[in-house]
């Protein structure tokens, strides 16, 4: 069942609390926060951020890995309440704290509402430019390799299983499965 809340702010808060719960059960001890971006208060950006509401990357419990998450959401009227829709996301795995530095891997989505003329695969993954020279003129960071929708839980699973970031709990797989089920229901 989709997440339906009385107000946009309540919908944003509920989703933020859910993501913070899974993040802090499995990975870092940091909190995502949202800030409202327009006068109608129906859009928000959910991200790890500093006091100026600038996106930041947080250190993981592994040498040299940082994670940046940003998800732009819109609350739209549904019956007596509001439902959430993802407008875009950017999940960045990088070697530095600054989101201005190039990420090793970026999972991104851009909805038609954000850019109707977006020429690339809306859901895609990109890699650091150092992964180039497979053939002359080939630069992997220039390619928008298509993916299905990528959830925060997918990114956490990738960090633990592929990049050896130690989870906070041995039940990390169960926690991710439970969280993923809720996220998919809420944003479907």
Residue % of the chain over a pLDDT of 90: 46
Q: What is the pTM of this model?
A: 0.84
CA-angle at 114, arms to 131 and 184, nearest 5°: 80
Query: For the residues 110-133, what does the mean pLDDT come to?
Result: 85
Band of the pLDDT at 135, cuts 50, 70, 90?
Answer: very low
Write out the two tokens for 66.
């940082």
Tokens 């989703």 locate to: 15
Tokens 């990357």 locate to: 57
Alpha helices per DSSP H over 8-143 = 8-26
Yes or no: say if 8 and 82 are a contact pair by the CB < 8 Å rule.
Answer: yes
């Amino acid at each position: 069942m989709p997440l339906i809340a009385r107000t946009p702010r309540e919908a944003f808060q509920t989703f933020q609390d859910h993501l913070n719960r899974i993040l802090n059960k499995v990975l870092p001890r940091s909190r995502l926060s949202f800030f409202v971006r327009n006068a109608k208060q129906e859009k928000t950006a959910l991200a790890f951020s500093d006091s100026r509401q600038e996106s930041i990357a947080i250190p993981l419990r592994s040498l040299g890995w940082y994670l940046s998450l940003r998800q732009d959401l819109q609350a739209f009227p549904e019956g007596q309440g509001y439902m959430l829709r993802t407008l875009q996301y950017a999940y960045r795995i990088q070697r530095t704290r600054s989101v201005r530095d190039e990420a090793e891997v970026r999972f991104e989505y851009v909805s038609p509402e954000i850019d109707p003329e977006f020429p690339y695969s809306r859901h895609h993954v990109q890699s650091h430019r150092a992964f180039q020279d497979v053939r002359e003129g080939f630069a992997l960071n220039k390619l928008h390799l298509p993916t299905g929708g990528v959830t925060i839980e997918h990114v956490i699973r990738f960090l633990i299983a592929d990049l050896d970031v130690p989870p906070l709990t041995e039940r990390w797989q169960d926690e991710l499965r439970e969280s993923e089920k809720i996220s998919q229901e809420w944003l479907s």
